[in-house]
Amino acid sequence: MIANEIPAIANSLWSASANPTPPCPPLEGEAETEVAIVGGGFTGLSAALHLAEVGIAATVLEAETPGWGASGRNGGQVNPGLKEDPDTVETRFGAEMGGRMVRMSGEAADLVFSLIERHGIDCAAARTGWVQPAHDARAMETARTRVGQWARRGAAVRLLTASETADILGTEGYLGAMLDERGGNLHPLNYALGLAWAAQRAGAVLHGASRVTGLKREGERHVLHTARGRLAARRVLLCTNGYTDGLAPPMARTIVPVRSVQVATAPLGDNVRRSILPGGHAASDSRRLLLYFRLDPQGRFVMGGRGAYDTAGTEHQMARLRQVSRELYPQLGDAEWTHAWGGYVAITADHYPHLDAIRPGIMAALGYNGRGVAMATAMGRVLAEWAAGRPEAELDFPVTPPRPIPFHFLRRPAVAATVALHRLRDRIGI
């Protein structure tokens, strides 16, 4: 169970199979550091590790425990690239910056798997490839374009026919797919915990149960307040993504937190297991309300999709995911469903992650739009480079002012309306 979480989304498979958490006592009394990091998910832990590795003192303040947020709850699918295709990114941001963003996001999975190897992180990492199956003709055209653009840039990406897709997925529901061999899957909580151990070994300081409730400038330093301590730092990195609170306005208004949920079966029998994703691929499909699915190393089937803000709606979505799973894979039949959990992803208005200069000396990275295993790890490294003094113009992502989303107070009804519209469009194929 996820500690300090509401029961409807707390029964996590990853928490039930987690490695030990490194010791991270709460911050007590007065402390100093070079770089203070708020939030102990992939973004904050990657930043801490990369800073510690170059000898810069970094302290992580996490409200709960490392990996407590989305990083410890997600599908564990390592998906390279941004949501937008490479040509679109380069058109919008220009050949120079856009090219850097494409390269950095395309190589983000390399970073994840190389960190795992370098630090011996025990997280069942498998670089088996990521499949994006197309559910209709329009999605197939998008897959063709996407594959063409990545292939022109030398990436290990190819288009699959309907029958190749059926072989890889073990279901015939799709017209074809993009296969991205750069991707794969892992145990997300154990990856986060492994980053935490590695950061600590490299010299970073980690404090759990240390929610930052105040952030003030005092002379040359920023002072972060928790219930029982104060931390002074030269620079501050805000890494709170879908869990962003009112600490540093207007940060919370630059994203919309949206709940995503997953359900998982007990380990399947050998015959059924061999018939589903036999090559161990991770899949996330092309629907507007996308389905993402995989097996875990014990042969449990794990299916994820959009949740709801309230408990009844969330439970309804979980039941729907079990039903959709049985439609895709009738052989799941009466498999026992043992886990159901969820967490918040951070959606941005333009569907890009943001690297936001909140105030002088305070930088935030957030808004991975549900695709942060690879990107949050990579953005953590960008934050570390900034905190170590690299000029903003040389970073791999553009630094922007925070851009609050207009009518943000209407976000919940707006999300509900958008979900209903997406569901209808997925159903009738427009």
Q: Does 295 bind ligand FAD (CB under 6 A)?
A: no
Supply the Cα-derived Rg of the chain in whole angstroms: 21
Smallest gap from Cβ 269 to ligand FAD, in A, equals 25
Residues 135-164 that bind ligand FAD (CB under 6 A): none
User: Which of residues 161 and 213 has its CB atom nearest to ligand FAD in the complex?
Assistant: 213
User: Which of residues 13 and 268 has its CB atom nearest to ligand FAD in the complex?
Assistant: 13
Q: Does 342 bind ligand FAD (CB under 6 A)?
A: yes
d(CA 69, CA 307): 16
d(CA 185, CA 113): 10
d(CA 214, CA 221): 14
Answer for the pair 323, 332: CB distance below 8 angstroms, yes or no: no
Task: Collect all residues with Cβ–Cβ distance below 8 Å to 7 and sequence separation of at least 6.
Answer: none
CA atoms within 13 A on the CB side of 39: 27
Peptide bond into 413 cis (omega under 30): no
User: Which of residues 197 and 344 has its CB atom nearest to ligand FAD in the complex?
Assistant: 344
User: Which of residues 70 and 193 has its CB atom nearest to ligand FAD in the complex?
Assistant: 70
Smallest gap from Cβ 152 to ligand FAD, in A, equals 24
d(CA 356, CA 237): 10
**Total of residues contacting ligand FAD (CB under 6 A):** 45
Among 113, 292, 301, 329, binds ligand FAD (CB under 6 A): 292
Q: Does 370 bind ligand FAD (CB under 6 A)?
A: yes
Residues 63-92 that bind ligand FAD (CB under 6 A): 63-64, 68-71, 73-77, 79
User: Which of residues 140 and 248 has its CB atom nearest to ligand FAD in the complex?
Assistant: 248
Residues 33-52 that bind ligand FAD (CB under 6 A): 38-44
Answer for the pair 244, 251: CB distance below 8 angstroms, yes or no: yes
Among 15, 165, 241, 325, binds ligand FAD (CB under 6 A): 241
Q: Does 128 bind ligand FAD (CB under 6 A)?
A: no
What would the two tokens of residue 1 be?
């169970």
Smallest gap from Cβ 382 to ligand FAD, in A, equals 12
- Residue 331, φ and ψ in degrees, nearest 5: -65, -10
Residues 243-262 that bind ligand FAD (CB under 6 A): 243, 245, 247, 260, 262
Give the Cβ contact number of residue 87 at 10 Å.
16
The dihedral over CA atoms of 242, 139, 427, 274, expressed in degrees to the nearest 10, equals -80
State which amino acid sits at residue 64. E
User: Which of residues 5 and 90 has its CB atom nearest to ligand FAD in the complex?
Assistant: 5
CA of 256: how far to CAs of 253, 296, 410, in Å? 7, 29, 10
CA atoms within 13 A on the CB side of 131: 29
Smallest gap from Cβ 61 to ligand FAD, in A, equals 5
Smallest gap from Cβ 304 to ligand FAD, in A, equals 5
Q: Per CB under 6 A, which region of 56-64, 137-145, 147-155, 270-278 contacts ligand FAD?
A: 56-64
State which amino acid sits at residue 375. M
Q: Does 207 bind ligand FAD (CB under 6 A)?
A: no
Q: Does 345 bind ligand FAD (CB under 6 A)?
A: yes
Task: Collect all residues with Cβ–Cβ distance below 8 Å to 259 and sequence separation of at least 6.
Answer: 9, 306, 307, 308, 309, 314, 342, 343, 344, 345
Q: Does 340 bind ligand FAD (CB under 6 A)?
A: no
Q: Dihedral sign, CA of 374, 375, 376, 377?
A: positive
Q: Does 194 bind ligand FAD (CB under 6 A)?
A: no
Q: Does 211 bind ligand FAD (CB under 6 A)?
A: yes
What would the two tokens of residue 229 be?
């301590």
Which positions touch ligand FAD (CB under 6 A)? 38-44, 61-64, 68-71, 73-77, 79, 211-212, 239-243, 245, 247, 260, 262, 292, 304, 342-345, 368, 370-374, 376
